[in-house]
Amino acid sequence: MACLALAAIEAANKIPPLSMASILQTHDLHKSFGALVATDSVSLTVQTGEVHAIVGPNGAGKTTLLSLLSGSLKPDSGRIEFNGKDVTRTPAHKRVRLGLARSFQITSLILPMTVLENVMLAVQGTTGHSLKFWSPVSKEKDTQTQAMHFLQAVKLQDKSQHLADALSHGEQRQLEIAIALALKPKLLLLDEPMAGMSKEETRKMIDLLRDLKGDITILLVEHDMDAVFALADRTSVLVEGGLIATGTTEEIRSNTEVQQAYLGEA
Amino acid sequence: MRGEQASSWPSHLLARLKGNLPNQVYFALVIALLIAPWLINALDQSFYLDLLTRALIIAIAVASLNLIIGFGGMVSLGHAAFLGIGAYCVGIPTYYEQFNGFVHLGLAVLCSALFALLTGLICLRTKAVYFIMITLAFAQMLYFTLVSLDEYGADDGLVIYQRSEFPGIFDIENPTTLYYAVLLFLLGCLYLTHRMMHARFGRVLQGCKHNEQRMQALGFLTYKYKLIAYVIAGTMAGVAGFFLGNFTNFISPEMMDWTHSAELIFMLVIGGTGILFGPVVGAVLFLLLEEWLSGFSVYWHLILGLMLIALVVFGKGGVHGLLSLGSNRGSQQNTTT
Ligand SMILES: Nc1ncnc2c1ncn2[C@@H]1O[C@H](COP(=O)(O)OP(=O)(O)OP(=O)(O)O)[C@@H](O)[C@H]1O
Ligand SMILES: [Mg+2]
C-alpha cells in the first residue's frame, strides 16, 4: 500500500495532471513592434510545480513573451493572470514582489560588485525596505547568510568575494540563477540559461535546475533540446509569435508538425 | 568580511591607510585643510585663505554632483543652478533687510530641494543624452527667469552688503570662521555620502548606475532611488550656494550659467568620479591651477583643457587613478569607499 502511494506521488510529481492549479495564465496576448508581430494571440497556461519549456526558432518571440510576463514590456492586448490575480497592468517591480522573477538571455549582473554583493542586493529587496541611509549593509549578518545560502545552491560559495566581472561565462550564468532564487519566486522565468555554455557547463546547469524542480515552478526558454528533454514536464512551441503546440515533452518530441516547424530545422 | 569587527577607529584608519597611496593622500589633504588657516595667517597670505574657501565651497557642489554622476550614473549639466538658488536665498532676503542666517539657510535648503524634486520628477524619466539636455534646459530656464527679474538686478545681479547673521553662534564675516564652517559642512557631506553608499540605499543607487535593468528585475523602483539621490544632491549644492553668496558678497544669474555646470563636471573628472575625496582634490586643484595659469598665460583655458585630456587618457580615473597606479593595492576596492 505504502509503496503504491509513493509511486502515485512520484508520478504526480513527474507529470502534473491537467486539473492541477495553474500559476500563470495568459489570454490572447498580443504584441507588435511596428509591422512586426512578435507575440500573436498567445494563450498559455503554466501549472503550479511544473517545468514548462518554450522552444522555437530564433526570432520566434520567446524573449518578447518573457518580457511581457515580467512586465518589462506592455502587451497591446490580452490578459496575464498570475496566482489568480490579473497582473496585466502591474508594473515590473511589483510583479517581482508578487513572486515573478526572471533571468536574462544576455547575462545581466552588476559587474563591478562582488558575487556576494550581487546576491545581497536581491536579498535586500525581499527583506524590508531599502531606504536605509546610515547603517552599513556589511553589518546585516542575516542578509549575508541568506545570500550565501543561495550561492551554495548554485555551488558558487567559494567565489563569493570575487568580482562578478571576474567569473567565467558559465559561472556568471549560475550567479544569475542564484540572484533569481534569492528573489524567492513562485514562478521563475529563465531565458536560455544554457546560452553560450560549453557541454560541461550545460551539464552542470541541467543538474542545478533539476535540483530546483518541484520546489519552484519554472518557465524555461531554451534552444538546447537535450536540456529541454531532460528537464521539462511540458513543452510549448512558439513559431512567428504564435503557439503552435503545447503538450507533455514526450508528445511534443514525437509531434510531426513540430518537427517540421522547428526540430527538423535545427 | 575583511575583519572589520572589533577594531577601534584608530586601528581601522591605519588599516585603510596602509599601503594605499590614494587614501594616504586624502588623509594628508584633510589634515592640511584643517591647519591651513593657521599656516596662512602665520605667513600673512590671506589671499590664499580666500582661494581655499572658494575651492571648498565649490568642492561641496562637486561632491553633490559626485553623488548623482559618480554613484548614480546620472550626468547632469544643470548643477550650477543649485548654486545659484542657494546664493539668491541669501541675496534676496538681504535685499529686504532680512539678515537672519537661519532664514537664509532654511530657504536655500527648501528651495533647492524643491527645485530638485520638481525638475527631477521630469528629468529622471529620460536617460543618457536626453537627461543631460533636459537638466541643462531647466537650468537655463531658471537663468533666464532671473535675468528677467529687474527688481533683483537682472543681468547685473545684486550686491550683498552683509553676510548672513548667526547671532550668538558664530560670525561668518570673519574669514577664518567662514572657512571652518565651509570645511565642516564639506566633511559632513562626505561622511554622509560614505555612510549612504555603504548602506542599503547606496547599494541600490550604485546598482542603478551599473545596470538599471537588473535592478528593476530585482524589484526595485529605480526611479524612486534616483530621485531621492537627486534631491539630496540638489540640496547639498543649494547649501554650497548659500556659502557662495556669502563668500562673494554678490549674486547674479551668471552663477548658474551652463559653463559653470560644465566646470563642476570637469573638476569631478580631475579628482576621479565615484571617489569620495575626488571632488575635494578636483576643486582645489582646479582653482589653484586656474589661479596660477591665468597669471602665467592668457591661454590658460587651453592649457587646462590639455591637462584634462592627458589626465583622462593616461590616468584612467583622474588623480585617483594616477595615485592608484603608484599604489601596490588595486583601486578596485576603493571605488566605493
Ligand atoms: N524592442 C524591440 N523592437 C523592435 N523589434 C523587436 C524588439 N524586440 C524584439 N524584436 C523583434 O521581435 C522578434 C522576436 O524577438 P525575440 O527576441 O522575442 O525572439 P526570440 O525568440 O527570443 O529569439 P532568440 O532565439 O534569438 O532569442 C524578432 O524579430 C525581433 O527582431
Ligand atoms: Mg530570445
The residue-averaged pLDDT of B71-90 equals 96
Residue with CA at minimum distance from ligand 1 atom 29:
A59
Residue with CA at minimum distance from ligand 1 atom 24:
A58
The residue-averaged pLDDT of B138-152 equals 93
The reply to whether A63 falls in a domain is yes
Residue with CA at minimum distance from ligand 1 atom 26:
A58
For the ranges A6-20, B54-68, B307-321, the one whose mean pLDDT is highest: B54-68
Any idea where the domains of chain B sit in the sequence? 3-332
Question: And the C-alpha cell for B315?
Answer: 590616468
Between CA A189 and CA A53 the distance in angstroms is: 10
Residue B197's pLDDT is what?
97
The reply to whether A161 falls in a domain is no
User: Nearest Cα to B247, choosing from B126, B91, B32, B40?
Assistant: B91
Contacts of A102 in chain B (CB under 8 A): 217
Number of domain units in chain A: 1
Contacts of B215 in chain A (CB under 8 A): 121
Residue with CA at minimum distance from ligand 1 atom 28:
A59
Task: Verify whether the Cβ–Cβ distance B218 to A133 is below 8 Å.
Answer: no
The reply to whether A217 falls in a domain is yes
Query: In this structure, what CATH number is given to the domain that contains residue A103?
Result: 3.40.50.300
Residue B13's pLDDT is what?
87
Q: Is A106 in the pocket of ligand 1 (CB under 6 A)?
A: no
Which residues of chain A are under the pLDDT cut of 50? 1-19, 266
Q: Indicate the pTM of the whole model.
A: 0.91
Which of A68-82, B141-155, B165-179, B305-319 is predicted least confidently? B305-319
Top-tier CATH class for B3-332: mainly alpha
Q: Nearest CB to A124: which of B203, B213, B217?
A: B203
Residue B332 pLDDT greater than 70, yes or no: no
Contacts of B233 in chain A (CB under 8 A): none
Phi, psi for A243 (deg, rounded to 5): -80, 125
The residue-averaged pLDDT of B12-32 equals 92
Between CA B337 and CA B332 the distance in angstroms is: 10
Between CA B307 and CA B297 the distance in angstroms is: 15
Tally of residues, chain A: 266
Question: And the C-alpha cell for B332?
Answer: 578596485
Burial class (CB in 10 A: 0-12, 13-18, 19+), B202: buried
Residue A1's pLDDT is what?
40
Tally of residues, chain B: 337
Q: Is A61 in the pocket of ligand 1 (CB under 6 A)?
A: yes
Q: Which domain holds residue A54?
A: 4-107+187-263
Q: Is A214 in the pocket of ligand 1 (CB under 6 A)?
A: no
The reply to whether A117 falls in a domain is no
Tell me how far CA of residue B277 lies from CA of A15, A116, A259, B47, B330, in angstroms: 60, 26, 62, 24, 17
Read off the pLDDT of residues B248-273 as tens digits, 9 standing for 90 and up.
999 999 999 999 999 999 999 999 99
Q: Is A64 in the pocket of ligand 1 (CB under 6 A)?
A: yes
Residue B336's pLDDT is what?
41
Tell me the residues of B at the A interface, defined by beta carbons under 8 Å apart. Answer: 1, 4, 192, 195-196, 198-204, 206-207, 210-211, 213-221, 225, 228, 332, 335
Average pLDDT, chain B: 91
Between CA B298 and CA B169 the distance in angstroms is: 43
Residue B104 pLDDT greater than 70, yes or no: yes
Task: Verify whether the Cβ–Cβ distance A130 to B204 is below 8 Å.
Answer: yes
User: Nearest Cα to B333, choosing from A256, A112, A98, A16?
Assistant: A112
Residue B310's pLDDT is what?
84
Residue A3's pLDDT is what?
46
Residue A263's pLDDT is what?
55
The reply to whether A204 falls in a domain is yes
Residue B223 pLDDT greater than 50, yes or no: yes
A106 CA → ligand 2 middle, Å: 9
Pair B228, A132: CB distance under 8 Å = no
Q: How confident is the model at residue B140 (pLDDT cuts 50, 70, 90)?
A: very high
> Greater confidence, A266 or B173?
B173
> Is the reported ipTM for this assembly greater than 0.90?
no
Residue B4's pLDDT is what?
46
**Helix or strand run (H / E) with residue A189:** strand A187-191
Between CA A266 and CA A226 the distance in angstroms is: 12
3-state DSSP assignment of residue B99: coil
The reply to whether A113 falls in a domain is no
Residue B7 pLDDT greater than 70, yes or no: no
Residue B216's pLDDT is what?
95
**Side chain identity, residue A258:** V
